[in-house]
Copies of this chain bind each other. A is one copy, B any other.
Amino acid sequence: MTGPEMHDLVRRLYPLCRSITGPGLRRTLEIIGESIPLEITEVPTGTKVLDWTIPREWTIRDAYIKDATGAKVVDFQDSNLHVVGYSAPVEATMSLGELRGHLHTLPGQPDLVPYRTSYYAETWGFCLSQRTLDGLVDGPYEVRIDSTLADGHLTYGEHVVRGASSQEVLISCHVCHPSLANDNLAGVAVAVALARRLTDPWYTYRFVFAPGTIGAIAWLARNRAHVDRVAHGVTLACAGDSGAITYKRSRRGDAEVDRVFAHVLKDRPHTLLDFSPYGYDERQYCSPGFNLAVGSLTRTPYGGYPEYHTSADDPDFVRPEAMEDTLETLWTAVRVLEANRRYENLSPYGEPQLGTRGLYGSLGGRSDTKQAQMAMLWVLSYSDGSHSLLDIAERSNLPFHALAEAADALRGAGLVKELTG
């Protein structure tokens, strides 16, 4: 998938009113499923998942505030951000004074509509721009939210690319945000593109598209017995803004996935963050009972751009070339994970003679294949059973791919063998 194709997917998913349950979420997974087949899981309301309980399913049909003239001054049909997520139904007439406690604005960004939810405390509310609020007279207003909170299901989808190994790489995207493009439709689009690119990998790759927090918790609860299959992972979000890449380490801090991203990013502008228990669903995957090797890959992280969680996070805010760059970064990391092996130097006493094996320029002093020759020397020197190619890349400051190619050449010449386990 190209950047423009990923952007098309973002635009197509954008209008749906997603939440942590409900028809918008289900329709989102259907559309993703057109690109990569998804296995859909429906978890019934009331199901106990770890410390949590699956809530009632939320269906929203319409919502508005009408003024005395009958004009809709706030209208869900204009933007699904206008209604507080999980709002209970309401139908009432009230003054602006009574209404105010249910209205949310961003006084510092007066033209933008905020994104607000109230999943676990039943209430209702509207989000609007401060500019709109400032223009409202005393009322009365007709207020209506045509929603249902009823027993149903929480829905999530999985796409699996089987590899040679049963060890898994987890790519997890939250899919619970309504009309917000960078957070997280861009992450969804990049994940879809990655899934389509993978063919015959060594690891098994599992893509989880689930609502934030409760979705990841439901997935963990249902997969608790074999969660140790997850060898590496990232949550993927905010993948399309124009900022530099940010990688946030897993709680382990020095997991292979953490070191892979540090290596992949080191020669380009980027930010590396230590784990903190706030952010996306790495919070759940890295909770101390699981403590999975799951980091978080974003461009500008949550809360780090003014458009975050506002109506300004629309498809125009997301850039096709930024999603392509996120995809290529993730792809480079995947290739390092795939090729990161330990080798044993079978000729560890002194250097083996590379020239007679056709592995070395025959005339002393030439340097046209300098990096390749250095890579062979590094692989030979550190293939002592305890260093992986990534370890050697970190020490040598050579690019991983040069070392992987050197290891291949040396294996071909019988000078090293791959170690397993």
Whether the Cβ atoms of A383 and B288 lie closer than 8 Å is yes
0/1 interface trace, chain A 354-373, chain B, CB 8 Å (1 if under): 01100000111100000000
User: Is A352 on the interface with B (CB-CB < 8 A)?
Assistant: yes
Whether the Cβ atoms of A278 and B377 lie closer than 8 Å is yes
Whether the Cβ atoms of A364 and B287 lie closer than 8 Å is no
Whether the Cβ atoms of A217 and B50 lie closer than 8 Å is no
Residues on B with C-beta less than 8 A from A364 are: 85, 116-119
0/1 interface trace, chain A 103-147, chain B, CB 8 Å (1 if under): 000000000001111111101000000000000000000000000
* Of B51, B291, B378, B395, the contact of A352 (CB 8 Å cutoff): B51
User: Is A224 on the interface with B (CB-CB < 8 A)?
Assistant: yes
* Of B287, B348, B350, the contact of A350 (CB 8 Å cutoff): B287
Q: Which residues A364-392 have CB closer than 8 A to chain B? A: 364-365, 374, 377-378, 380-384
Residues on B with C-beta less than 8 A from A224 are: 349
Whether the Cβ atoms of B363 and A116 lie closer than 8 Å is yes
Whether the Cβ atoms of B277 and A381 lie closer than 8 Å is yes
User: Is A272 on the interface with B (CB-CB < 8 A)?
Assistant: no
Q: List 9 A-B residue pairs with CB atoms under 8 Å apart, sorted by A's residue number.
A: A51-B352, A85-B364, A118-B363, A213-B351, A276-B378, A277-B374, A277-B382, A286-B381, A288-B381
* Of B85, B283, B352, the contact of A351 (CB 8 Å cutoff): B283
Q: Which residues of A contact B (CB under 8 A)?
A: 49-52, 85, 114-121, 123, 213, 216-217, 220-221, 224, 251, 274, 276-278, 283-284, 286-291, 309, 345, 347-353, 355-356, 362-365, 374, 377-378, 380-384, 395-396
Residues on B with C-beta less than 8 A from A348 are: 287-289
Whether the Cβ atoms of B50 and A114 lie closer than 8 Å is no
Residues on B with C-beta less than 8 A from A288 are: 345, 348, 380-384
Q: Quick one: given A116-B364, A365-B115, A374-B278, are A220 and B349 in contact (CB under 8 Å)? A: yes
Question: Closest CB-CB distance, A201 to chain B, in whole Å?
Answer: 28
Residues on B with C-beta less than 8 A from A278 are: 374, 377
Tell me if A's interface is mostly helix, strand, loop or mixed.
loop
**Least CB separation from A290: chain B residue:** B349
Whether the Cβ atoms of A356 and B220 lie closer than 8 Å is no
Question: Closest CB-CB distance, A363 to chain B, in whole Å?
Answer: 5
Residues on B with C-beta less than 8 A from A353 are: 51-52, 120
* Of B120, B283, B355, the contact of A120 (CB 8 Å cutoff): B355
**Least CB separation from A117: chain B residue:** B364
Whether the Cβ atoms of A289 and B119 lie closer than 8 Å is no
7 closest Cβ contacts across the A-B interface? A289-B348, A277-B381, A121-B362, A289-B349, A277-B377, A50-B350, A51-B352
CA distance A126 to B352 in the complex (A): 28
Whether the Cβ atoms of B350 and A217 lie closer than 8 Å is yes
CA distance A217 to B351 in the complex (A): 8
**Least CB separation from A284: chain B residue:** B350
Residues on B with C-beta less than 8 A from A289 are: 345, 348-350
Whether the Cβ atoms of A120 and B277 lie closer than 8 Å is no
Q: Quick one: given A351-B287, A364-B119, are A277 and B356 in contact (CB under 8 Å)? A: no
Question: Closest CB-CB distance, A175 to chain B, in whole Å?
Answer: 16
A50, A51, A213, A291 — most chain B CB neighbours (10 Å)? A51
